[in-house]
Structures are given as structure tokens and as C-alpha cells.
Amino acid sequence: MVSIRFPVSASIVFIATIFILTGCEGITSDFKDPKKPEQGQSGSIDGGKKDKDENQGKDENKEGDEPIELPTSSPSPSPSPSPSPEVEIEDVESLLKKAPAAEELVLIRMDFDIADSESRDASLVVYNALRAMKLIAFDQEIPLLQTANLYDWLKSLKIKIRIEEPEDKSEPAMDEILLFRTELEQVENRLWYDKAKGQGIMKLIASILHKARHTKPGGDVPHNCSKRPRGRDSGSFEEDTNLNYGGAWAVEVSYYTFIASHSGVFVKDEVSKAAANDEAIKLMVSRFCTKYSLQP
């Protein structure tokens, strides 16, 4: 049994961070220095008035030189610079309250092969998920994916994103992920995190990353064990052996852990951060054949 200890506090620092940040066997632990977005600094005001010395010059002039007329009063001081305003970094909730600009959608379509749905609402949810992924820059790389930005990682796979229509029952190809229209159309997916229903874009991103891990470009990592005897007997695996396996469940644990502890100003909502931490814990308990125990 692998024993994992959590401190008893309102904001649990999830133990999976140890796995993610120290780099367990089989997973790299090299990191780049954190790169945080620069913020504007307030300008300083020079409030002191510098008097000019009215006694400059020589008292004695050379023979034949014209006497120098000195000003009888100091010139008006130059106006002091105004403080520069703080540069406010947009957070994910503010981003999702705004409709995507046409130029923004063009850039996303240049980065991804998206098969739009007949449902405008379903397509918009997919675009919003990608917008949120692009905005959030973690304060350090996720070792399992070797990236600090999930949009960049997903883009690097060059996979197709397809929205399944109700009548479509086909299986996804090895270079595409399949999202379900009926799930995308749920009203909670208009928000980063719907506190009442426990759903939203935050959880949709986890599903996208999970599916991407199963694609061939994403590593082609299938589930390799089952916690239920029926699943073991039939070979229908739904769980992974452990975090070191680096499968789709480990990707989700990494994602939720980094949302909870490394998303900085990009995710300001503490409720969604706490929910992300809780999701990571639930996955640790339910989705790995290795038994991870949680002790206070």
C-alpha cells in the first residue's frame, strides 16, 4: 500500500504534487525556471523641486567679454510623470464571459482541425475550452506532459477534434478525439465551473486531455488494469496500474493538481481550485489499481 498524507486544512496541498514535481521513476523531473507574466509597475513621482543655482558662472569676466545676464527666477519645473496603471491579467472566468472574437476563432482553427457541429452551442463550448487552455500558463511545467501550457501540448499533437452528432455511432480514429454533442450542450458548460452542479469547462478540459492521451500522437496509452473482477476476466480495462504508468488518469491527476496549486492569477476562483484538488483526490482513490490511502 502506498501511504499518502494530507494536512488537515481548508486548502489541501494535494500529495500528487509530490509525484508531479519530484518526478517518479519513469517520468522526467527536469523543470524550467517558472516564467510568470510581467505585470505593470506603478510609476514613481518625483515630487521634489530642484532649485537652480542662480550664482552659476564666474564672478569675473575676461576682458572684452559681454556680461552674462542670469535669470532672476528659476524656470517652471517640468510636470511630474503620472503613475502608470497596473496591467490587469485576465483570469479564466472573465475570459469566458466574453464571446470569442472572429480573429480569435480564426487562429484556433489554424491550430486545430475541428469538425464543427450543427449545434452552434456545442461548437462554442469546444472553442471556449481551447481559449481557456490557451490562457492558463502554469508557473512551471507539468513533468508528465513537459509543458506549462495545455493548449501548446494539444496543438503539438496535430489531432482532429470531432463532435459526435446524436445519430453518429462511429469510433474515433487514432488521431482524433470525439466529444459528445449532448454533453457539450449542457448549460453548465457555459461557465468555468458551475458550483451547484460541479461541472463546467474546467472538467471538460480534463476529458479532452484524457481522450488526447489515448490517441496515437498523444502517446497511445490505453488503460491497463481493472479494479473489478469482471473487467479483469474480460480484459475490459478502465483503470491504470499507478501514476508512474503515465496514462490518461495520471494526466487528469496532473491537470487538476496544477489547476489547484499552480494556475496563479489565471484561476482566481478559490472554489474551483478546491474542487480541482478534490477531483485529483477522487481519481487517486478510484482510478488506479495501486491502492493509495489518504491519511490526515
Q: Is 73 a residue whose pLDDT tops 50?
A: no
Percent of the chain, pLDDT > 90? 58
Distances (CA, A) of 5 to 16, 232, 254: 10, 30, 17
Give the pLDDT score at 227: 85
Q: Is 89 a residue whose pLDDT tops 90?
A: no
In the chain, the amino acid numbered 77 is: P
Q: Is 71 a residue whose pLDDT tops 80?
A: no
Q: Is 87 a residue whose pLDDT tops 80?
A: no
> What is d(CA 123, CA 131) in angstroms, rounded to the nearest whole number?
12
| Average pLDDT for the chain | 78
Give the pLDDT score at 37: 44
Reported as a pLDDT band with limits 50, 70 and 90, residue 2 is very low
What cell does 193 get? 465551473
pLDDT tens-digit profile of 110-122?
999 998 888 899 9
Reported as a pLDDT band with limits 50, 70 and 90, residue 253 is very high
Reported as a pLDDT band with limits 50, 70 and 90, residue 170 is confident
Longest dimension (CA), the chain: 115
Where exactly are the structural domains of the chain? 2-29+89-295
Give the pLDDT score at 232: 64
Q: Is 193 a residue whose pLDDT tops 50?
A: yes
User: With the C-alpha atoms ordered 165, 169, 174, 179, is the resulting torsion angle positive or negative?
Assistant: positive
Give the pLDDT score at 248: 97
Give the pLDDT score at 234: 60
Give the pLDDT score at 15: 44
Give the pLDDT score at 43: 41
> What is d(CA 22, CA 44) in angstroms, rounded to the nearest whole number?
42
Distances (CA, A) of 69 to 24, 57, 62, 66, 118: 80, 10, 15, 9, 84
pLDDT tens-digit profile of 227-242?
887 666 666 799 999 9
The most confident of 12-21, 162-171, 220-229, 266-275, by mean pLDDT:
266-275
Give the pLDDT score at 151: 98
Q: Is 81 a residue whose pLDDT tops 90?
A: no
